[in-house]
Amino acid sequence: KLSKEGNPHAYEFPRAKVADNIYDFSFSGLKSAVLNQINMAKMKGEEINPADIAASFQKCVADTLLNRAMLALEETGIKKFAIAGGVASNSAIRAAFESECKNKEIAFYHPSPILCTDNAVMIGAAAYYEYIHGVRHGWDLNAVPNLKLGERYE
């Protein structure tokens, strides 16, 4: 909500990347850059506009996700793209993907934001495929946070 009130160009934060693989990225450097910006401003007695920080942070995340996704689509030649989970509920990220996909004539799919909280769509889709393959569990099933998609819980 706060980012909608801010200027996304107020601060230029570093775009996340990992040298070994163009598709790997981490936002830890971005988090550090935001904290450094805030701490520097406090030390200098400068005023910080939280909405500008939030908007600039959000733009940086959106740019990083969009850049990597479009690169993957170009390399593979795929003309369809879908987002889901918490990231799909962010209106700025969703709008950036929608605009870029339209410009590149890529079909863009995203669930309604109400279905994006806590990865609900991805969990539901994974459960559906488990179900059609006959996998059933009892009420005693526990969460396994490190389980990879496609791995079986034993």
Render the burial of 98-126: b for 16+ CB within 10 Å, e for the rest: eebbeeeebebebbeeeebeeebbbeeee
- pLDDT at res. 130: 86
| Tens-digit pLDDT string for the chain (154 aa) | 899 999 999 999 988 776 677 777 778 889 999 999 999 999 999 999 999 999 999 999 999 999 999 999 999 999 999 998 788 889 999 999 999 999 999 999 998 887 777 666 677 888 898 899 998 888 888 877 777 767 776 6
- pLDDT at res. 48: 93
Residue 40: both structure tokens together: 């520097």
How far apart, in whole angstroms, are the C-alpha atoms of residue 33 and residue 80?
A: 33
- pLDDT at res. 80: 96
Collect contacts of 51-55 with beta carbons under 8 A, ≥24 apart: 51/2, 51/3, 51/4, 51/5, 51/6, 51/7, 52/6, 52/7, 52/10, 52/11, 53/6, 53/10, 53/11, 54/2, 54/3, 54/6, 55/2, 55/3, 55/4, 55/5, 55/6, 55/7, 55/8, 55/10
Q: Which residue has the tokens 């309604």?
A: 112
- pLDDT at res. 124: 81
- pLDDT at res. 144: 79
- Residue 33 near residue 59 (C-beta atoms within 8 A): no
How far apart, in whole angstroms, are the C-alpha atoms of residue 118 and residue 30?
A: 23
